[in-house]
Amino acid sequence: MSGSWNTIESDAGVFTYLLTNLGVRNVQFEELLTLDPSSLAELHPVYGVIFLFKYPTDAPYRATGDKPLDGTFDHSIAENKLFFAAQTIPNACGTQALLSVLLNKTSGSDDEETKIDIGPVLKDFRDFTIDLPPEFRGEALSNSDVIRDTHNSFAKSSPFVDETTRNPNDETEDAFHFIAYTPFNGTLYELDGLQPAPISHGPCTQESFPEKVMEVIQRRIARYGDAEIRFNLLAMTRDLRIRARELGDVELLEREEQKRRDWQFENALRKHNFVGFAGEVLKGVVEYRLKEGGEDGYKSWVGQGKQKMVKRIEERRKGRGGGGEDVEMEG
């Protein structure tokens, strides 16, 4: 029986080091804050993008019959060269989307410029599953201890919530889903493990990929209501430090090295449970307050804290707009 998969964040640092820990080198992720194709083209070479959106959508997820809402199903390509796996277990979609790009950029790709050395672990996995049908590839992924444990190592630490039991159908909380877009042998494909097959979006070269994929994503976002702005887009690209070294750009290299240090620190924080630390700090503060002002001083301090909290809540309610604190992706 396969183990559980935890949810992970749509974060460039998480996805970059997830790749690194699986043995992939010279590849990173960059978060895109705009749907302008030029922002993606600047990262050349780009291997593909991973798109996060709310699921299920307010509109039907697919059209009736053997036809998606956009593009066309390509059943034959999944049975041949393209790696596509059906999602057979909850919470694995982030890593599955990542692999949907990565495993189609190996030595078997027709595009020399975007070939990736995926390392021995993923090479063995691809070699074992490439001749299997999509549903068996999904089962193989679900049962891969190495990939699952690496994925779960980037899940948030929480002593209160078991993310492995999260119900995506629970109306009290929103669920999100990752899918991938990548050019493969002259065609733009949408790879979504919840769909029955890869979705073709027509002819696409490596050079036209930024423009083509942004058009498809814009059409997809347009299917949501105007109030929905919770989307995230990550680009899988070559390690930007390589470009910096090739150009002799010392400033760019230092920025990228600092970015890696920041990512490592943030990933360490994600894995750490701060409840014990917070409890010890709180006990120390309470002891100090009791020592300084006695029980009356302690009660006064608690009362002041409550008043400040009520004031903050009221201020947030007054200043809350339609989008809250979310940042809308620019079109």
Q: Which residues are catalytic?
A: 93, 177
SS3 146: helix
Rounded Cα–Cα distance for residues 248 and 257 (Å): 14
Q: What token pair was written down for 272?
A: 């750490």
- Residues 144-164, buried b or exposed e (16+ Cβ, 10 A)? beebbebbbbbbeeeeeeebe
Rounded Cα–Cα distance for residues 69 and 64 (Å): 9
Its sign, for the CA torsion 153, 158, 163, 164, is positive
CA atoms within 13 A on the CB side of 231: 26
The candidate with the shortest Cα–Cα distance to 74, out of 114, 164, 134, is 134
Q: What token pair was written down for 166?
A: 């999260």
Under 8 Å between Cβ of 198 and 78: yes
DSSP per-residue string spanning 232-292: EEEEEEE-HHHHHHHHT-HHHHHHHHHHHHHHHHHHHHHH---HHHHHHHHHHHHHHHHHH
